[in-house]
Amino acid sequence: MEYYRFPSAKRQLSRLSLKNVLLVLITITLTWIVIKFSSSQAEVFEDDADIDSDKEASPIFKAFYKCVRPKLEPFRGRHNDFWFKFAEVTADCDELKEYKALEIMPSMNKDETKYFAYPKKDENLTMITLGIGRDVAAEIGLKRLYRKINFYGADPSSEYNKDLYEKDLKGKYYQYAVSDRNSMGMSAVLGDNGYKDQVTQHISASQFFKNIIQKDRIDVLWIDIEGNEYSVLSQIHRNGPLDTDGVKICQMNVEMHQFPTWWPSGEMKKFHDFVWKVLRDRRYIILKPFFVIYEHFRFIRLFIVNVADKECTDLYLK
């Protein structure tokens, strides 16, 4: 005959302890979900706030926002569609009458057009190139447009780039891959047979601007760094690393990359999130969107102008 064994007090206590631990974990998980949901709702509310009632937003930003945001709303959260439709649906917004306050001039390099908001003040400007790519034709063109510019360039490969930037342009070259970290890391380096991944020295944008270039205001910034642009641009938002360091970026030309589908690294989502943060920050406007198809690669070229910081707007807004 087999007797039933009643659970010992120790066993009952163990079961109760396990049950309590599970209840605590469930409570923590539910609390985290509620906090995340509330946070996302708060972000949506802030983004959707009436732009006309915002006394700090400039008239030129309000015009940009009212034109661009409704065109992008149908693609919100749809990262792929947002990527492929962005340039097409926002191109008409380049014709806003408020943009006449900017005198925008082009400068060509070998395969693209860069843009420059011409200053209405006679000042010495600081221009930085991130990703020289063996081509300084547009920088030389910019120098012809406006003579009083000091040039600084960074590229992980010194081959050709150092001589081009220092001898041809009379600028200062730095052998860095500028990103969001100070360490060794992978970079796409342009060689004679195209781009190859190499381990190079990385430096964060905030560190490069503040401590290497030693400038608090970057008047012109050109970025073409084969995917690292997202890590640099993540630092320009309100209350980000550049704000913490007191660095202002006045105008930028940026090439946003999306690598082939067999090389998934989330660029479409990064681009989507960057644009919505720009709309929420109410600091920059995005102009001259251009969608590029090159072999298996897809790019979006943008001209981004600071219309909020007085040091910048006093320089080029009429």
Residue in the block written with tokens 């020289």: 132
Nearest to 129 by CA among 173, 88, 97, 72: 173
Q: Across residues 104-118, what is the average pLDDT? A: 96
Q: How far, in Å, CA of 279 to CA of 270, rounded? A: 14
- Stated pTM of the model: 0.82
Res 137: pLDDT: 98
- In this structure, are residues 118 and 307 in contact, taking their beta carbons and an 8 Å threshold? no
Res 182: pLDDT: 82
| Residue, of 30 and 254, whose pLDDT is higher | 254
Band the pLDDT of 260: cuts 50, 70, 90. low
178, pLDDT greater than 50: yes
- In this structure, are residues 204 and 179 in contact, taking their beta carbons and an 8 Å threshold? yes
**Which residues lie closer than 8 Å to 239 by C-beta, 6 or more apart?**
none
Strand partners, 287: 303
Handedness of CA 170, 171, 176, 178 (dihedral sign): negative
Q: How far, in Å, CA of 66 to CA of 93, rounded? A: 9
Q: How far, in Å, CA of 170 to CA of 148, rounded? A: 12
- In this structure, are residues 189 and 160 in contact, taking their beta carbons and an 8 Å threshold? no
**Which residues lie closer than 8 Å to 136 by C-beta, 6 or more apart?**
109, 129, 153, 164, 165, 168, 169
pLDDT per residue over 275-314, tens digit each? 999 999 999 999 999 999 988 788 999 999 999 999 999 9
> How many angstroms separate the first and last alpha carbons of the chain?
100
24, pLDDT greater than 90: no
Q: What is the DSSP string of 137-166?
A: HHHHHHHHH-S-EEEEEE-S--TTHHHIII
